[in-house]
Structure 1
Amino acid sequence: MSSTVSRSARHGARLLAYSHVTVDFYQGAIAALVPFLVVERGYSYAAAAGIVLASSLASSIVQPLFGALGDRWQMRWLIPVSIFVGGLGVAGIAFADSLIATSLMAALSGIGVAAYHPAGASRARVISGNDQVVMSWFSLGGNIGFAIAPLAVAATVGVFGLRASPLLMVPALTGMLAVALIGSVYTPSSARLASKQVSGIDDWRGFIRTSIAIILRSVVFVGMGSFIVLFMHQYRGVSEPVAAASLFVFYLGGAFGTALGGYLAKKWQRTSILRWAYLVSVPVIAGMLLVPGPAAFIFIALASVVLYVPFSLHVTLGQDYLPRHMGTASGVTLGLAVSCGGLASPAIGALADNVGLEYALLPLIVLPAIAFVVLIGLKDPELTNSHSVAVAPSDSKNSSS
């Protein structure tokens, strides 16, 4: 973390990042449950993907509401409540006796995740003081949550069946505790307490272009996350446990990519980093889907890293494009645009039912290329020292465009 960040801010950022681990754990858990729902309850690819859709659609519907509310009120109480709701939905899958009931539980979890992101990201921006590295660690928490979800699901549901999903409530309880401890370790600086007004001009065009790129990336990420275990087992000839490990590799690589993106942003413009990351993603994802045998694992790790380099940068860019609507920006960049990938999962599942999973995933190769085109010419927004309590002065590099 940056040396300009106080010790209390570092402690607060770590606790908040851990809370992000626990809430995004449940996004990863929904995807990790797909193979077990297919095997144990006999759902088709499309039906199982529909459960991912339920979670994503619920997030998408309520996300603008939470973002708008976040523009008016800080609602820090919503952070622990949302973590609890996210866990409750996943735990409830054990008691769901139909596809509809299972989808409703997934939707409840999605609402919890949606409620967390605007408040959590805005809180992270306050604590970080606009430090790109600290913000990357907040985003990194979500990646770690995704990464450990398949392992936790395999250790519980994989051993005891879907009836063991209430055990997955444990991360939520620890995440709520971490949030409760933030106030005891983090002391806001007098400079942040003194400034409460936001100034600046919202750049909706830049924000929309950034959001389009996030949506395209989300389709690739969620699509692969939902089906990579089945793909590796059925088309790459690896055992089920090894195939399950592929999802862990996919999410873990994202953790490295997120941290890398934060450090790169201290040397280069964020928009340039985004374009290069998406351009490099194209051949890497192609190798992930086309290289035969276990060698695909190398490309899985590489694809995860390059797809996640832009992750935290999208968050701070979105906030800087909309300085007057930072709650909305936080909600969209970390929630609505990200969850849109789940909307495409049923289409991928339906295509897989008809032509095979191997061919259904091939269109994902071109989506990062489209994101690269969308971002051509996009500049970093100019930041000023008059930005609010949630936006401290940025470094000179990010102030130039």
Structure 2
Amino acid sequence: MQQNHSRYIYLLSAGHLFTDMNQGALPAILPFLIAAYHFNYAQVATLVLASTVVSSIIQPVFGNLADKTPRPWMMAIGVLLAGTGMAAAGFLSDFRLLFLSIMISGIGVAAFHPEGARMANKVSGDKKGTGVSIFSFGGNAGFAVGPILATASISLFGLRGTAVLAVPCVLMAITILSQIRKMDQAPPEQSRSEMIPEKPAEPDRWVPFTLLSLLLFGRSIVFCGLNTFLPLFFIQVLQQSESTGSALLSFYFAIGAASTLIGGRLGDRFGFVRITRIGFTLFLPVMAALAITRTLVPAVLLLIPVAFALYSPSSLTVVLGQKYLPNRMGLASGITLGLSVSIGGMMAPLLGNLADNFGLMAAIYAITAISIIPAVMSYTLSNEDKREKAVQNSHSLKN
């Protein structure tokens, strides 16, 4: 990344953080809503549906719109809606209005991601793995920050403390709007004679993109399953306290966020497909080792390779999707960042039903088995690194 454009990737990462912070805050807000208004579990599940599945499913729609006519200002609208929609939740007692406000927050999340990922690709220059990993790190950090900020705000100010969530989002929306014009200028990482046109001449390749999507569907089920059952594994199987289970989940998230950054840099150096294959191939044995572990210290240590293997390819798969669909980067971003996540969310209740009927370890073993899908699918991916080198060599010969 060129020095004068690298600061924009950090701005986009901050926007990603404040956007996804609201999705991370919702699980922390729900217990307060239940206590205040006595909602049942079905209603709570409906609110989660309004936030996650709605936002995930419509992200490709926003991505398709971004491909037809880029709308970078949608990033500002997205972070604004995400924050104000979730902030309003603490002021509403009517379930229908509450559902609407949380759905508006989810729509904001959906609006931000495709344009944000497209712009992250653009301002990253020739270090796209590193740049998009920084962008992805912001989202991971947002999920971690959201519950902390929401809980602290409600504890201090009551349920209406959710208003605090709107403050950073409003400020970030204003900041993004003030920088859009400069950010939207193409980064000068190459001389004019070597500039690659913003709209690539090469065609979209749907077969490798479909294979990548199947990989991401498998990864999403594993990701959502671990988020749900990892604390319960430490509490019920390893006999730890609820606070220890929560703390270890935060530890896992922190390792995952750091691994996203590391994976981006490794991808730029050694190749996106190679690091993706290594990550998902490594995940299967370390997850299996965690599943059969019955003592605390080895289980905690295994969280490090488990998180690294699952998170290190995450930004690389986004860039690969954009490379496979160079003329539809917004759509590619919407699917890789949004729609694929909803698959895991929809499968999580099935894993829960499995745990209810056959015990928690049945769900853990199922997650381990499902991790075979991304491991196998990673070896079907088209190797973009070799392809791009061949293209570059052909251009050099012509010049």
TM superposition score category, shorter chain reference: 0.7 to 0.9
Partner of 1:318: 321
Q: Does 1:145 align with 2:147?
A: no
Distance 1:177 1:287 in 2: 47
- When Rg is computed on C-alpha atoms for both structures, the one with the higher figure is 2
Deviations, residues 215-236 of structure 1 (Å, cap 9, x unaligned): 2111222233245445544444
249-258 vs 174-183, greater mean Cα deviation: 174-183
**Is the contact made by 2:60 and 2:338 (CA closer than 8 Å) also made in structure 1?**
no
Distance 1:200 1:162 in 2: 53
Deviations, residues 94-117 of structure 1 (Å, cap 9, x unaligned): 245476655544433222111111
**Is the contact made by 2:199 and 2:327 (CA closer than 8 Å) also made in structure 1?**
no
Q: Residue 271 of structure 1: SS of its match in structure 2?
A: helix
Deviation at 1:14, TM superposition (A): 1.1
Partner of 2:255: 253
Q: Residue 270 of structure 2: SS of its match in structure 1?
A: coil
Q: Residue 105 of structure 2: SS of its match in structure 1?
A: helix
Q: Does 1:302 align with 2:305?
A: yes
Deviation at 1:204, TM superposition (A): 0.5
152-161 vs 36-45, greater mean Cα deviation: 36-45
Q: Does 1:205 align with 2:201?
A: no
Aligned CA-pair RMSD: 3.3
Could you say which structure has the higher helix fraction?
A: 2
Q: Residue 380 of structure 2: SS of its match in structure 1?
A: coil
Deviations, residues 23-82 of structure 1 (Å, cap 9, x unaligned): 122232234556666777777777655543332321233222111101111111100111
> Matches of residues 337-376 of structure 1 in structure 2 within 5 Å?
337-376=340-379
Q: Does 1:116 align with 2:112?
A: yes
Which residue of 264, 284, 287 corresponds with 1:262?
264
Distance 1:338 1:282 in 2: 20
Distance 2:287 2:155 in 1: 28
363-372 vs 177-186, greater mean Cα deviation: 177-186
79-88 vs 233-242, greater mean Cα deviation: 233-242
**Is the contact made by 1:8 and 1:185 (CA closer than 8 Å) also made in structure 2?**
no
Deviations, residues 348-386 of structure 1 (Å, cap 9, x unaligned): 344445555454343111222111112223222334899
The number of aligned residues is: 385
Partner of 2:163: 166
Partner of 2:52: 56
- Residue type at the aligned position of 2:339: L
Distance 1:196 1:319, change over 3 A: closer
Q: Does 1:126 align with 2:122?
A: yes
Distance 1:358 1:32 in 2: 26
Partner of 2:285: 283
The alignment-based identity, stated in percent, is 34
Distance 1:12 1:211, change over 3 A: same
Deviations, residues 129-177 of structure 1 (Å, cap 9, x unaligned): 2422122211221122122223223423467665533322233234324
> Matches of residues 165-184 of structure 1 in structure 2 within 5 Å?
165-183=162-180
- Residue type at the aligned position of 1:297: V
Distance 1:163 1:234, change over 3 A: farther
75-84 vs 88-97, greater mean Cα deviation: 88-97
Distance 2:151 2:234 in 1: 16
Q: Does 1:329 align with 2:325?
A: no
TM-score (norm 2): 0.83
Partner of 2:16: 20
Distance 1:85 1:357, change over 3 A: farther
Q: Residue 202 of structure 1: SS of its match in structure 2?
A: coil
| Unaligned segments of structure 1, at least 5 residues | 387-392, 397-401
Partner of 1:238: 240
Partner of 1:389: none
**Is the contact made by 1:218 and 1:337 (CA closer than 8 Å) also made in structure 2?**
yes
Q: Residue 267 of structure 1: SS of its match in structure 2?
A: helix
Distance 1:134 1:196, change over 3 A: closer
Distance 1:377 1:383, change over 3 A: same
Distance 1:144 1:197, change over 3 A: same
100-109 vs 249-258, greater mean Cα deviation: 100-109
- Residue type at the aligned position of 1:335: G
163-172 vs 139-148, greater mean Cα deviation: 163-172
| Unaligned segments of structure 2, at least 5 residues | none
Distance 2:212 2:312 in 1: 14
Distance 1:355 1:174, change over 3 A: farther
**Is the contact made by 2:122 and 2:187 (CA closer than 8 Å) also made in structure 1?**
no
Distance 1:96 1:45 in 2: 18
Deviations, residues 1-31 of structure 1 (Å, cap 9, x unaligned): xxxx222211111111111111122232234
